[in-house]
Structure 1
């Protein structure tokens, strides 16, 4: 049935010169899909500059490049935090996570804090909670990292199916029945997990299986890849492709990104094979910028990395693909954020009951199809432990504890090389007051990670960062 509807839609557009507009509208309305499927693919710790469509010539990513070429590429795509857990809390709720106390990365329980609150607050609804009411089946394959206590489990946060792990990272080759940390066992509520082959492949394969099992009903798939997060582990066949890269860590990283790309291609091919590609919205981004010091990623042309609020920590590769509705090959140059995913998904799913005003983000579809004006000069705010930042139009101010606020004009200086705070003291004062007023109205964090991380984050502002793509021999 879906294939027939897709054919009718295609004919409607191809024959449009021969119909009056009213006839076209009537045909299009009758040929609309019965529902849209929703797929969110998230990479973990991916460097901005490490994909073909973001400028890399060293690492080959043909499947992700095709996803971008046939969809919408956002040149100014942001996430709401510079590290994994708070970023995920933001994009899975559509609300800036610091506004409900999810300011830190999840780790152990610090003294004075209650283990019962060591996860994303139960007061918050997830995208899966919302979609449940609309008849969607919701699946999470891969990483959770929003709480390990039973009350935070994804199956209690709206997901119908879960295959993966609840921690923040995993070994790529092994899990142990009584393992902890990166060796924790995989779990699933719909099958006994097979032994890990290579976890990037396993996430891809389980995602394909989810699509095949639910092809005849509305579904939301969250494919939460581990790659290219540490530990630095790659398949020998992939390492061989990049043997010309002398630095061992960079070589391993490139191989891991290559395998990620193959599995994104596997998911996209499955949608094609099932006749679902035209009416499935696929969104791809990284949960934060690459941690250049730990996985040899490159965020060029942006300065900074995972853990801090310079562009390298929060400006990420970002793509939306929906062939039946969105323009193909569109390069969208206005600011968007991962917080836009939830309202976009809900609007596309036909949600008419949820108050969209509760979300920090907005429905992007009308802005991409021309129904609404471009999202010009958006205001965005960030807070992560020691760092605060605000962007308004082209101006961005970053505030950290050991120096004067830093002010950058991103239109002229996307690499944040020239601090203009003293030259534009009025603009800096204006943005600092605005940021401060927002900050003092935020709730206390509901949990903290160890204080050692704050000192490390501060030091990252003084690192030297690679701002150009590596030369390819």
Structure 2
């Protein structure tokens, strides 16, 4: 799309990339939702280009964002999982985006851009020690970082059901109760003389039960303190973060970055915490939408988009700023509290977050705006990808994108979550085949009777998959069980471990 613009060699526009979290394509007005109020995002689409077949490289946060940052499928950087854990689970894990990956921030930094990230990272922090910050944004081309090194979780807000490994935690609690009951029975029996056992054995049994409980509660019981933190560059500013002021702090930092770098060129990646659960929404927006807390959170995010656009206009940067808005993947269907739905709507598309096999998990909103350079109120129906942002911004910065893959590889540069393995997963042999140009909602699968080219198409797909796999080279698996497990010695901590607490932010925001 940008190849026909004819970009003058002396022009290096400012670049603002805005990425929502868990936003469904059917959640905003310009994609057909007439009950949700998103005037700022809708106006952005009216003034720019709207993509109707914009595809994420993965249906979950960590791998999708790794692909977005690098322009490569996450499997090539080790950011695609081969186990049940398909995203990073802890700040204190050792997995993350490898330092040898070339992000678009590194490219633009080399091209003279000031580069900043405000918001969610979720690409890891440390490798071997608590302060090595090998996976940190500042080690991936960003000059400035303010936000969450992890991601929002229900655990970040008091009185919310746990989200991290919820089913596993329920099992741990169940076994804790069984062990506690057994210990109580043994001790009672010893005291009453009904059980013939030495005090030493009884105490050892009780100690075993305590150690079992302490071993898992020391991590899962303190998720809010371990994962829900804010950082400015390499320093922790809030641990745990106070959600009631997080939105204002992030907005303040984004606007400040625009103001400080108004003489440009700059790259600002605004990685929203909205609209991931727990959907914390400031009082100003509570109860405003027709769709409960999720709708309130979307309308607050739309307001944030408007504030950022206003900041661009107030600095006189409107015509020299390339702006992009998208979501990292589809909305989450399973998010709920009781009977209240807390996840997004993916429109006519089946599936959602965590389901890469259906369009609803990977088809996302995509909007560009650059007044005078991109045609206003335009629609692009051709397939595009979040990974296309990499070569796009590299082109805007007059950088020639390197060849990542062997010639002919076929790349096109230019239970809270539904599981992908195990019980309950259906495997289709042969795979289901849909014609998305005529059936975007994947309502009716094709068959040899309805599609004469059925077998030929499947054969071509199988050959393409084999060719893709042939080009893969072995890399360390960043989402292996060893890398994602909580490691106390890697835990970012403001204070004395394990009593991690600090508040360096000011309330006068």
TM-score range normalised by the length of the shorter chain: 0.7 to 0.9
Q: C-alpha displacement at 1:121, in angstroms? A: 1.9
Structure 1 residues 420-431: aligned runs within 5 Å: 420-423=446-449, 424-431=454-461
Structure 1 residues 12-411: aligned runs within 5 Å: 34-104=11-81, 105-108=86-89, 116=94, 118-149=95-126, 150-169=133-152, 180=224, 184-189=228-233, 193=237, 197-242=244-289, 245=290, 250-294=291-335, 295-309=342-356, 310-352=358-400, 354-355=401-402, 360-363=411-414, 386=420, 401=427, 403-411=429-437
Q: C-alpha displacement at 1:191, in angstroms? A: 8.8
| Preserved CA contact (<8 Å) 1:96 1:360 | no
Distance 1:450 1:411 in 2: 40
Distance 1:192 1:151 in 2: 16
Distance 1:431 1:192 in 2: 47
Report Cα offsets for 1:15-50 as digits up to 9, x if no partner: xxxxxxxxxx9xx97xx8752111110000001101
TM normalised by structure 1 equals 0.73
> Aligned in 2, Cα 1:233/1:108: closer, same or farther, shift over 3 Å?
closer
Q: C-alpha displacement at 1:434, in angstroms? A: 2.0
| Preserved CA contact (<8 Å) 1:200 1:259 | no
The equivalent of 1:471 in structure 2 is none
The equivalent of 2:479 in structure 1 is 448
Report Cα offsets for 1:31-84 as digits up to 9, x if no partner: x87521111100000011010001111111000000010001011111111110
Once the two structures are overlaid, the 10-residue window that deviates more, 226-235 or 152-161, is 226-235
> Aligned in 2, Cα 1:108/1:289: closer, same or farther, shift over 3 Å?
closer
Give the match's secondary structure for 2:35.
coil
Distance 2:93 2:155 in 1: 28
Number of residue pairs the alignment of both structures matches: 378
| Preserved CA contact (<8 Å) 2:88 2:124 | no
Give the match's secondary structure for 1:85.
helix
> Aligned in 2, Cα 1:315/1:181: closer, same or farther, shift over 3 Å?
farther
TM normalised by structure 2 equals 0.68
Distance 2:103 2:359 in 1: 27
| Preserved CA contact (<8 Å) 2:150 2:227 | no
Q: C-alpha displacement at 1:96, in angstroms? A: 1.7
Q: Report the aligned-residue RMSD.
A: 3.1
| Preserved CA contact (<8 Å) 1:38 1:282 | yes
Unaligned runs of 5+ in 2: 1-5, 127-132, 159-221, 336-341, 483-509
Distance 2:40 2:387 in 1: 25
Give the match's secondary structure for 1:42.
strand
Unaligned runs of 5+ in 1: 1-24, 364-383, 388-398, 452-473
Q: C-alpha displacement at 1:401, in angstroms? A: 3.9
Distance 1:172 1:272 in 2: 37
Distance 2:261 2:26 in 1: 35
Distance 1:360 1:182 in 2: 38
Report Cα offsets for 1:200-228 as digits up to 9, x if no partner: 34322221111011111211000000110
Q: C-alpha displacement at 1:260, in angstroms? A: 0.3
Give the match's secondary structure for 1:216.
coil
Greater gyration radius: 2
User: Larger relative contact order (C-alpha < 8 A, sep ≥ 6)?
Assistant: 2
> Aligned in 2, Cα 1:182/1:54: closer, same or farther, shift over 3 Å?
farther
Q: C-alpha displacement at 1:420, in angstroms? A: 1.2
